[in-house]
Structure 1
Amino acid sequence: MSSEESVRLTAGDVELTVAPANGCRISSLRIAGTELLRQGERYGCFPMVPWCGRTENGRFRNGGVEHQLPINDPPHAIHGTARESAWRTARTGPAEAVFTYELADPWPYTGLVTQTFELTEDSLALQLGIETYDDSFPAQAGWHPWFLRNAFPEGKGARLDFIADWQEERGPNYLPTGRRIEPTPGPWDDCFGMEDGLDVTVTWPDQLELTVKSRTEWVVVYDQEDEAVCVEPQSGPPNGLNTHPRLVTPIDPLEIAATWTWRRLA
């Protein structure tokens, strides 16, 4: 299947659309006809690969070698390269699909990224994996969904509920300072830690409850815009290429999984 074609998965009255040519993002998630994701080329839910959030001044080291990434959120580099690239559709079925992306410039290392979607009537399972073809390198992976705050026009806006073990203190440059603090009230553009794995619920009162879970302990929550709220599972904190490097090696790929489950309240 051409990467230009959108891929549509269905399960009961749930419909998921993936756009391989636009960063392999989920462009639409509709439950009983109601769209849950913010629409637009930059939105939906995109994979953050091979790093998540901001990398300070676009620089990171791998051993003694320093690399410079493009500055796309001055003065930082943000959210990886995969969201701006075309992916290849490897396999599709009625309710599951697999896509791949070859790491390339401006990322300085070669490798393969695989993203998998599995849809049921009450859940979506997501997986990302990063393999190296040659040299070991630090990397991160995660997802950046934009859930519509007012998905149900007749209902109340979305509410976020979670219990974090800590919050990464955010400095004036929007990067973690390295200090862990007690979680603070929102609004947030902040990274939280959950030792037993992340568990965040988005509730549209009287309509729908959607829970994001993952075995990873890191999640960024962003709710500073009127249109949407973001719950971003990721394999490490912002600037983690520098502060919390996780090496991808020929025998140890990076893998992360997350599950969205929902139940109808109406």
Structure 2
Amino acid sequence: MSTDNTTQGGAPDGVRLAAGDTEVTVRPDNGCRIKSLRVGGTELLRQGDKYGCFPMVPWCGRLAHGEFRNGGELHRMPLNAPPHAIHGTGRDLRWHTARTGPTEAAFTYDLTDPAAPWPYPGRVTQLVQLGADGASLTLTMGVEATGDSFPAQAGWHPWFRRNLGEGKDVHLDFLPEWQEERGPDHLPTGRRITPRPGPWDDCFGMPRGAAATLTWPGRLELKVTSRAEWVVVYDEQEAAVCVEPQTGPPNGLNTLPRLVTPINPLEISMTWSWRSLSGDTA
């Protein structure tokens, strides 16, 4: 049975899920990130306290100068990537483990947690579900308002290893309908352009749903799918490639606000599915 093996004064082991030849470890104490995804004994995620795959909530990517408005109210978030605030508050907090099982676990945190406060009361829930055959992983996140309505975003920031330790580097394949032009401040300008070659730290529009395929030749193929219509791709670092489905573009709290109300929560889901290529002869 899966457990949250946090010990007093010691390093937590996290919540472990397993099926088939796949093992998943979640660290609720470290922003509820997926710390590890091991398939057939091979780790797919970049390791380290800042990596793995973390939830971005209640905003995604950069928030211009850490500021957003809700009606006539101006709010300022801490500038953790000066001159902007980046990736929300959820990745910096200890989440509560609501339930665990052999292949599924649920976690929550309160938006007004004093460790990284948000100006509006609400709750975030993340559900982690490993397929019974060990060949897929689905993450689902919900943002609920328990008081006044507020704009919010949600998404994930996975760090996939560029190379699995032997063989060729990963190849990324995706077909966006447009690319958000990036300004010198690293924020979208509001202009949509024809997708350009990488390397990228860019947001793309996929109105039929985010979809991408990562292929480690001769090793593994992994598909990323989500009904979310936006995806950020970041591959400027040598060690990893990031494919990030999210509910809006960077700075979306200001440019494309999605209002969360007590009767209309924000929800997003993402699935990774994979297959081994070790038997391929091509």
TM-score band by shorter chain is over 0.9
Shift of 1:195: 1.3
Superposed CA RMSD: 1.0
CA contact (8 A) 2:53 2:158 kept: yes
What are the superposed Cα offsets for residues 99-153 of structure 1, whole Å, 9 maximum, x if unpaired?
Answer: 00110143111100000011021100110000011000000000000000011x2
Alpha-carbon separation, structure 2, partners of 1:61 and 1:99: 28
What are the superposed Cα offsets for residues 65-107 of structure 1, whole Å, 9 maximum, x if unpaired?
Answer: 0000000000000000010000000010000000001101431
Equivalent of 1:28, from 28, 33, 36? Answer: 36
Alpha-carbon separation, structure 1, partners of 2:93 and 2:200: 28
Question: 2:9 corresponds to which residue?
Answer: none
1:54-133 paired onto structure 2 within 5 Å: 54-104=62-112, 105=114, 106-120=117-131, 121-133=134-146
Q: Percent identity?
A: 67
1:166 matches 2:174 = no
Alpha-carbon separation, structure 2, partners of 1:227 and 1:250: 41
Alpha-carbon separation, structure 1, partners of 2:44 and 2:228: 24
CA contact (8 A) 1:9 1:17 kept: yes
Question: 1:148 corresponds to which residue?
Answer: 161
Q: TM-score, normalised by structure 2?
A: 0.92
1:236-255 paired onto structure 2 within 5 Å: 236-255=248-267
Shift of 1:228: 0.2
What are the superposed Cα offsets for residues 6-26 of structure 1, whole Å, 9 maximum, x if unpaired?
Answer: 100001110000000000000
Alpha-carbon separation, structure 1, partners of 2:219 and 2:180: 32
CA contact (8 A) 2:155 2:268 kept: yes
CA contact (8 A) 1:3 1:86 kept: no
| SS, match of residue 65 in structure 2 | helix
CA contact (8 A) 2:70 2:151 kept: yes
What are the superposed Cα offsets for residues 17-68 of structure 1, whole Å, 9 maximum, x if unpaired?
Answer: 0000000000000000000000000000000010000000000000000000
CA contact (8 A) 1:98 1:117 kept: yes
CA contact (8 A) 1:3 1:21 kept: no
| SS, match of residue 57 in structure 1 | helix
Shift of 1:154: 1.9
Alpha-carbon separation, structure 2, partners of 1:96 and 1:145: 19
CA contact (8 A) 1:14 1:29 kept: yes
1:173-252 paired onto structure 2 within 5 Å: 173-252=185-264
Structure 2 counterpart of 1:108, which letter? P
Q: TM-score, normalised by structure 1?
A: 0.98
Unaligned runs of 5+ in 2: 7-11
CA contact (8 A) 2:5 2:15 kept: no
